[in-house]
Copies of this chain bind each other. A is one copy, B any other.
């Protein structure tokens, strides 16, 4: 069984998509053909959308599911006349919220990801520059300024996690690779010791690490079974000995790792 799912917005479509995917993920047996249509901000565009929905309904021989976060009434009215099954987020919740808050909503378009409304641009960019400059132990003099210092063996997922936390939460996260030499000492590297409270460890399944390293340097010592197993064993034992909290990235997404660390360390988000 196949169904089309439309995510329609007058803004970026990111919220409609996030909510829609979250709801659809509860229906595992159905294959959804996903179509995101952002910036539907004129009646002309809405009419085109209705045509696409009609076409999908014919092809699937079933109502497409429509997740929309369009604010403008007229545009939403046009879309609601399509053959889709509307999950109309704003209709469902704006009226009750208006009542509860005893105020009218402004029904203004695309506010969430708009820079005017949400003046976090420079915080995010500064945090991202921090993550890039303090990636992979390249620089260690800025740890005073860091919200968090991620440590772990090469290719365990430190860089993407740091960058995600910068973009999503404005958190300044540096990262430092734990090398074989560090592991021989069986201690946290000296440069990190004064900042131990900010240090968080990442680990990963050895087979998965091997697969990732193989792509980088195939058939090297670096990507050998033995090397990966030893590094992981030693780094986890170092984390335990030093009392450094750590998470396994093997079965968790970047979003999960980031939000778990924030919760566990009680890190203040800047966004």
- By a beta-carbon cutoff of 8 Å, the part of chain A in contact with chain B is 3, 11-15, 18-19, 21-23, 25-30, 36, 38-39, 63, 65, 69, 71, 85, 87, 89-90, 92-94, 96-97, 100-101, 103, 105-108, 110-118, 121, 124-125, 128, 132, 157, 159-160, 163-164, 167-168, 251-256, 258-260, 263, 269
Given contacts A23-B97, A94-B23, contact A121 B167 (CB under 8 A): no
Chain B residues with CB below 8 A from A101, complex form = 3, 27, 30, 65
A-B residue pairs, 5 tightest by C-beta: A26-B105, A25-B111, A113-B255, A12-B259, A22-B112
Tell which of B19, B124, B269 touches A15, judged by Cβ atoms closer than 8 Å: B19
Could you say how many copies of this chain the assembly holds? 2
Tell which of B18, B21, B114 touches A256, judged by Cβ atoms closer than 8 Å: B114
| Chain B proximity of A30: nearest CB distance (Å) | 6
Given contacts A92-B92, A97-B23, A106-B27, contact A38 B263 (CB under 8 A): yes
- Contacting pair A108 B22 (CB below 8 A): no
Chain B residues with CB below 8 A from A89, complex form = 19, 23, 89
13 example contacts (A-B, Cβ-Cβ < 8 A) are as follows: A12-B259, A15-B18, A23-B93, A25-B118, A26-B105, A26-B106, A30-B101, A87-B97, A92-B93, A115-B256, A125-B160, A132-B132, A164-B167
Chain B residues with CB below 8 A from A27, complex form = 97, 101, 103, 105-106
Write the chain B residue with the least CB distance to A29. B103
Tell which of B22, B128, B254 touches A160, judged by Cβ atoms closer than 8 Å: B128
Write the chain B residue with the least CB distance to A110. B256
- Contacting pair A26 B259 (CB below 8 A): no
Tell which of B36, B111, B116, B132 touches A26, judged by Cβ atoms closer than 8 Å: B111
